[in-house]
């Protein structure tokens, strides 16, 4: 990735990154270390917080929910983002700029405002239900909030740009002539997609998926407002423990598990795809 | 208007600090409640004592604990839940109140302790949307609130572990009010299980109003002040005071607060008869100063929990303070099940 930098200049690159690294050290690494130490010292020294978290069906269910929602969101986001990224890559650049602006505009709108907007749209008397009833697909309002559907819709919408951008970056670099070559060699459109385009786009899908999955794992606002308590995710548990119950040992343990899972996924992605991206 | 007065407070504060005069920080839950606290408690206090009151929020127990532990307490007076205040007082997170400054003789003894006095109190009452229940039968009792056959539709309850919903479940299950404590949690959760799939949780007052007004949840258990506000806006709302359950907010001073003296004086002002009466008039929550009701218009007094003592149940704050963690852990685990 840094191949344009000569080894001699790498050192100076580190120097330039120093302010950011110091900032991270002071306001991220040290507090995280503090929380971690609380997780094995409060209320008493030992691993009891981890035992409680990993030993109770309720908490395991919260872990399961967290992975389920993150997985669903990643999958659906990828399915929606792929055609969008492809279209962006082949459309005239002036049109693409407008589409990009629309995608980014949604990113720049306040998260809370967007989530409240979904609450209003998805409620029983909301626009979505009314439209579905008006065109006769349903005759009773269906429940779209306070459950898995609500969280998934809300989060897919918020995560889409994070999937589209890396995908676009990779697809844009694919030489369209390769697809023509595939067609000339007798590949059907489906074959060209499956055996040529998808493998070439895999690093983009992988980094988009990692970003979306990891961001989803720690998401709080959207699951809290659009999901029911039965879909509680890890971040909500951490907030409850830290803020409402003042049980920082337990909150720290949950946060540390989340961090470990995230780092493990990142390491896995580096191992599997970083070589190909170069 | 509100923004202006906040700005004014900020400017006064800056001017005050420049002149080396006193200032302090008051933290509450935001929204219309804190607006009223600013208008009827902070502004008169600043006028009388010359101490500027900076507003901060929302109240966050995690932050209070962090500030006290770090010895850097930025908040001087905080509005908290009363049961939390009792627990936190025992846990050493709060300053004992100075009752030489705060006159507790006139305060409702239900809401006075060494570390906390009431901020205001409220009742959990049954509210419903008449558009959804237009028949002859109208919800009246806690049993009705839990009866999804007689009164179909989603129910909305307060999301956080706090006095109110557990008590309501036990009453609905037929437990007499005088036998509520110690709380039979098994029985309460068993009763709650019967309507679990019909529950939508509200996290804050505004959301509870939205759920009821939109008909998303046509019935539920609400803070009485929020229903009074809907009615004041001209929305028809059904209210049943049968078995209304009182709970309260508290004013506390975190341990090590920088402006302790100003904090005590502020609490004295905030709990005075006039400040409490004005706040109650604006918000529909009840005053904890026993002289306040006399200062209010008769029509308004009739809408307060004060006027509904016949079927009233006082949530046992001391019991809750003692068992807050245990109930909280079970509550959140049950919600996530």
A:B CB pairs within 8 Å: 55
> CA of B320: how far to CAs of A8, B163, B172, B247, in Å?
65, 7, 20, 11
Residues B222 and B241: their CA atoms lie apart, in Å, by: 11
**Containing domain of residue A152, as a range?**
63-277
Distance from CA of B193 to the nearest CA of A (A): 13
> pLDDT at position B21, please?
61
Tokens 């959140």 appear where? B332
Q: Is the pLDDT of residue A62 over 80?
A: yes
Q: Which residues of A touch B328 (CB under 8 A)?
A: 240, 244-245
Total-model pTM: 0.81
Answer whether B335 sits within 8 Å of A232, measured CB to CB: yes
Residue carrying the six token digits 């409640």: B33
pLDDT at A67 over 60: yes
- pLDDT tens digit sequence for B208-220: 998 999 888 999 9
pLDDT in tens, A112-148: 889 989 988 998 888 999 999 999 888 888 889 888 9
More confident residue, B262 or A228: B262
Interface test with A, best of B89, B216, B325, B326 (most A CBs within 10 A): B216
What would you report as the CA-atom Rg of chain A, rounded to the nearest whole angstrom?
A: 22
What are the CA-CA distances from residue A111 to residues A65, A158, A222 (Å)? 22, 8, 8
Q: What is the pLDDT of residue B4?
A: 47
Q: What is residue A156's DSSP assignment?
A: H
CATH of the domain at A250: 1.10.3720.10
* pLDDT value for B308: 87
Residue of A61, A123, A224 with shortest CB distance to B336: A61
Closest Cα in chain B, distance from residue A245 (Å) = 6
A-chain CB neighbours of B62 within 8 Å are 242-243, 246, 248
As a whole number of angstroms, the distance between CA A3 and CA A277 comes to: 12
Q: What is the pLDDT of residue A140?
A: 86
B214 reaches A (C-beta below 8 A): yes
Residues 133-162 of A with CB under 8 A from B: 146
Residue the block writes with tokens 């008590």: B167
For residue range B14-69, what is the model confidence (pLDDT) as tens digits? 544 444 468 999 999 888 889 999 999 999 999 999 999 999 988 999 999 999 99
The verdict on residue A164 lying in a domain is: yes
User: Among residues A278, A277, A90, which one has the least CA distance to residue A202?
Assistant: A277
Mean pLDDT of chain B: 90
Predicted local confidence at residue B130, as pLDDT: 92
Rounded to 5 degrees, what angle do the CA atoms A171, A172, A178 make?
70
- Cβ separation of A124 and B325 shorter than 8 Å? no
Residues 6 or more apart from B73 whose CB is under 8 A from it?
B67, B254, B255, B256, B257, B258
Task: Evaluate whether residue A16 is within a structural domain.
Answer: no
* pLDDT computed for residue A10 by the predictor: 54
CA–CA separation, B11 and B14 (whole Å) = 5
Residue-wise pLDDT for A169-181, tens only, equals 999 999 888 888 9
Checking if the pLDDT of B197 tops 80, the result is: yes
N residues, chain B: 337
Structure tokens at A90: 């082949």
What is the residue-averaged pLDDT of chain A? 88
Contact A247 B332 (CB under 8 A): no
Nearest to B203 by CA among A177, A8, A226, A150: A226
3-state class percentages of chain A: helix first, strand second, coil last, to nearest 5: 80, 0, 20
Any domain includes A168: yes
Residue B132 reports pLDDT greater than 50? yes
The pLDDT of residue B79? 97
Angle between helices B224-232 and B205-214 (to 10 degrees): 50
The answer to whether residue A271 sits within a structural domain is yes
> Is A198 a member of any domain?
yes
Q: Which residues of B touch A65 (CB under 8 A)?
A: 336
- Judge whether residue B268 has pLDDT over 60: yes
B70 contact A CB<8A: no
pLDDT at B246: 94
- Mean pLDDT on B305-320: 90
Q: What percent of chain B has pLDDT over 70?
A: 94
Q: Looking at this predicted complex, what is its ipTM?
A: 0.76
* Stretch 32-71 of chain A: residues touching chain B, C-beta under 8 Å: 56, 58-59, 61-62, 65
- Is residue B9 very low, low, confident or very high in pLDDT (cuts 50, 70, 90)? low
Min Cα distance B213 → chain A (Å) is 11
C-alpha dihedral (B197, B238, B204, A237), degrees to nearest 10: -20
More confident: B132 or A3: B132
- Whole-number Å distance between alpha carbons of B124 and B266: 28
**Residue B161 and residue A247: Cα distance in Å, rounded?**
14
| Cα distance between residue B233 and residue B213, in whole Å | 11
* Number of other residues whose CB lies within 10 A of the CB of residue B309: 11
Alpha-carbon distance B118 to B108, whole Å? 8
The first and second tokens of residue A124, run together, are 């029983």
A244 interfaces chain B, CB cutoff of 8 Å: yes
What per-residue confidence (pLDDT) applies to B215?
Answer: 87
- Give dist(CA A193, CA B219) in Å, integer: 53
The 3-state secondary structure of chain B, one letter per residue: CHHHHHHHHHHHHHHHHHCCCCEEEEECCCHHHHHHHHHHHHHHHHHHHCCEEEEECCCCHHHHHHHHHHCCCCCCEEEEEHHHHHHHHHCCCECCCCCCCCCHHHECHHHECCCCEEEEEEEEEEEECCCCCCCCCCCCCHHHHCCCCCCCCCEEEECCCCCCHHHHHHHHCCCCHHHCCCCCHHHHHHHHHCCHHHEEEECCHHHHHHHHHHCCCCEEEEEHHHHHHHHHCCCCCEEEEEEEEEEEEEEECECCCCCHHHHHHHHHHHCCHHHHHHHHHHHCCECCECCHHHHCCHHHHCCCHHHHHHHEEECCHHHHHHHHHHHHHHHHHHHHC
Q: Is residue A56 part of a domain?
A: no
- Chain A residues with CB-CB distance to B324 below 8 A: 245
Of B11-20, B100-109, B234-243, give the lowest mean pLDDT range: B11-20
Is residue B328 less than 8 Å (CB to CB) from chain A?
yes
* Count of domains forming chain A: 1
Residue A21 has pLDDT above 80, yes or no: yes
C-alpha span between A165 and A52 (Å, rounded): 40
Mean pLDDT value across residues B101-127: 95
Is A243 in Cβ contact with B60 (below 8 Å)? yes
| B66-98 tens-digit pLDDT | 999 999 999 999 999 999 999 999 999 999 999
**Confidence at residue A244, expressed as pLDDT on a 0 to 100 scale:** 83
Res. B3: pLDDT tops 70: no
Distance CA A17, CA A193 (A): 40
Contact B337 A248 (CB under 8 A): no
Q: Does residue A30 lie in a domain region?
A: no
Contacts of A110 (CB under 8 A, 6+ apart): none
Q: Are A65 and A269 in contact (CB under 8 A)?
A: no
Within a domain: A49: no
pLDDT tier for residue B135 given thresholds of 50, 70 and 90? confident
Q: What angle do CA A226, A233, A127 make, to 5 degrees?
A: 10
Candidate from B160, B200, B336 with C-beta closest to A244? B160
B201 interaction partners in chain A (CB closer than 8 Å): 146, 228-229
Mean pLDDT of A153-172: 93
């Amino acid at each position: 990735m840094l191949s344009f930098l000569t080894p001699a200049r790498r050192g100076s690159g580190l120097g330039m990154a120093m302010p950011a690294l110091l900032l991270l050290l002071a306001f991220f690494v040290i507090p995280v270390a503090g929380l971690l130490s609380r997780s094995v010292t409060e209320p008493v020294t030992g691993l009891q917080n981890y035992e409680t978290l990993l030993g109770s069906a309720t908490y395991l269910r919260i872990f399961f929910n967290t992975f389920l929602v993150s997985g669903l969101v990643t999958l659906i986001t990828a399915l929606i983002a792929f055609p969008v990224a492809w279209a962006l890559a082949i459309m005239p650049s002036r049109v693409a700029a407008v589409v990009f602006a629309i995608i980014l505009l949604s990113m720049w709108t306040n998260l809370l405002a967007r989530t409240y907007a979904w609450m209003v749209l998805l409620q029983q008397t909301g626009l979505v239900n009314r439209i579905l009833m008006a065109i006769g697909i349903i005759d009773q309002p269906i429940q779209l909030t306070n459950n898995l559907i609500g969280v998934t819709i809300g989060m897919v919408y918020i995560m889409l740009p994070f999937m589209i951008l890396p995908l676009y970056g990779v697809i844009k670099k694919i030489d369209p002539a390769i697809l023509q070559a595939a067609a000339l060699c007798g590949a059907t459109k489906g074959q060209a997609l499956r055996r040529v385009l998808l493998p070439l786009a895999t690093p983009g899908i992988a980094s988009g998926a990692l970003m979306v999955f990891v961001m989803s794992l720690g998401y709080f606002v959207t699951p809290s407002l659009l999901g029911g308590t039965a879909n509680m995710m890890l971040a909500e548990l951490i907030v409850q423990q830290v803020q409402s119950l003042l049980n920082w040992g337990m909150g720290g343990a949950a946060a540390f598990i989340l961090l470990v899972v995230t780092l493990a996924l990142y390491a896995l992605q580096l191992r599997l795809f970083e070589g190909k991206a170069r | 208007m509100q923004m202006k007065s906040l700005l004014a407070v900020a400017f006064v504060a800056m001017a005050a600090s420049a002149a080396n005069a006193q200032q302090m920080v008051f933290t509450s839950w935001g929204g219309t409640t804190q607006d009223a606290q600013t208008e009827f408690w902070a502004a008169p206090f600043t006028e009388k004592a010359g101490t500027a009151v900076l507003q901060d929020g929302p109240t966050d127990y995690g932050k209070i604990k962090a500030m006290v532990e770090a010895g850097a307490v930025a908040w001087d007076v905080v509005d908290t839940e009363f049961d939390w205040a009792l627990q936190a007082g025992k846990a050493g997170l709060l300053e004992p109140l100075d009752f030489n400054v705060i006159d507790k003789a006139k305060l409702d003894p239900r809401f006075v302790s060494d570390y906390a006095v009431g901020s205001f109190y409220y009742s959990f009452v049954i509210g419903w949307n008449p558009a959804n229940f237009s028949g002859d039968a109208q919800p009246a009792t806690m049993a009705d609130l839990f009866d999804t056959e007689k009164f179909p539709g989603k129910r909305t309850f307060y999301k956080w572990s706090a006095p109110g919903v557990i008590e309501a479940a036990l009453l609905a299950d037929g437990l007499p009010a005088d036998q509520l404590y110690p709380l039979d949690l098994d029985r309460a959760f068993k009763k709650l299980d019967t309507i679990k799939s019909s529950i939508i949780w509200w996290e804050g007052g505004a959301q509870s109003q939205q759920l009821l007004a939109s008909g998303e949840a046509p019935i539920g258990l609400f803070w009485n002040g929020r229903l009074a506000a809907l009615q004041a806006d001209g929305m028809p709302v059904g209210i049943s005071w049968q078995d209304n359950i009182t709970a309260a907010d508290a004013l506390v001073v975190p341990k090590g607060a920088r402006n302790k003296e100003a904090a005590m004086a502020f609490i004295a002002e905030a709990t005075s008869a006039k400040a409490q009466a004005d706040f109650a008039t604006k918000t529909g929550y009840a005053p904890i100063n026993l002289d306040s009701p006399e200062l209010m218009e008769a029509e308004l007094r009739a809408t307060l929990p004060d006027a509904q003592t016949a079927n009233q149940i006082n949530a046992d704050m001391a019991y809750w303070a003692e068992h807050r963690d245990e109930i909280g852990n079970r509550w959140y685990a049950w919600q996530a099940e």
